[in-house]
Amino acid sequence: MKLASWNVNSIRVRRERLLRWLEANRPDVLCLQELKATEAQFPHEAVRAAGYDGAVLGQKGYNGVAILTRAGLPLEDVRPGLDDGTDDSSARLLSARVGSVRIVTVYVPNGQVVGSDKYAYKLEWFKRLRVYLERHHRTSEPLILCGDFNVAPEARDVDRPKEWERSVLFHVDVRAALREVTAWGLTDAFRLHHQEGGFYTWWDYRMLSFPKNDGLRLDLILATRPLTERCTGTSIDRNERKGKLASDHVPVLATFAEY
């Protein structure tokens, strides 16, 4: 299974780039985040014409996630949301089964400013995600949790870690919150194959961040042991940040043998 995850930062703006990327890369599964569109606004027909279909959890103007699969690889048991009985209507999590693999894609809250209500919501959302995993899944099953986590896990995932320490994307609290999620039984697939720093998935549109490679690795593919044992390769498609109308995030990819 070749799986990719990509925060497109508006599916309507990035529609043509998405279609070109699908044609060039042909993943078995593509998880999308930050659609900023309702399900009705999602380009279903164009995606089907490209040989893909899938499930969409949309929201007008904000958030939104999707799981796309290539033709002949159906999605089963699609489940939206954290299912924890709250009145939180944010479209941030979508789960489905592809063959024997459970795929969960997430768009974690940004947090805005450390100490704000939105930051508290981000930390609480991580706690809810850990509870969701405990309630609905098992570490013995082949499971992928992927998406935009809006946190860089370690210093090697940030170009200027000292300058980002007080940011919502690298504060000690959000890194600890992410570790609580991974402690459930998940491994960062990218780090199975790449130990060095300098690999990022997000660059700010401002201050020439991309040409300077002044970025952060916020987009992750986390997997349980049955999958990490069969992870044959991972990569970041840095080229997708180039050119007109690029998202500020790029796709991350992982390949798993025998799935």
Residue 200 annotated among the catalytic residues of the structure: no
Burial of 258 (0-12, 13-18, 19+ CB in 10 A): exposed
Of 191, 154, 183, 186, the C-alpha closest to 170 is: 154
Active-site residue, from 52, 119, 132, 148: 148
35 neighbors 60 (Cβ within 8 angstroms): no
**In sequence order, what are the residues at sequence separation of 6 or more whose Cβ sits closer than 8 angstroms to the Cβ of residue 20?**
none
Q: At what angle do helices 172-182 and 117-136 cross, to 10 degrees?
A: 10
User: Rg of the Cα trace of the chain?
Assistant: 17
Q: Which of 52, 107, 119, 200 is catalytic?
A: 107
Helices (H), 26-113: 44-49
Annotation says 205 is catalytic: no
Sign of CA dihedral 193, 232, 134, 97: positive
Q: Is 205 exposed, middle or buried (0-12, 13-18, 19+ CB in 10 A)?
A: exposed
Which are the catalytic amino acids?
A: 107, 148
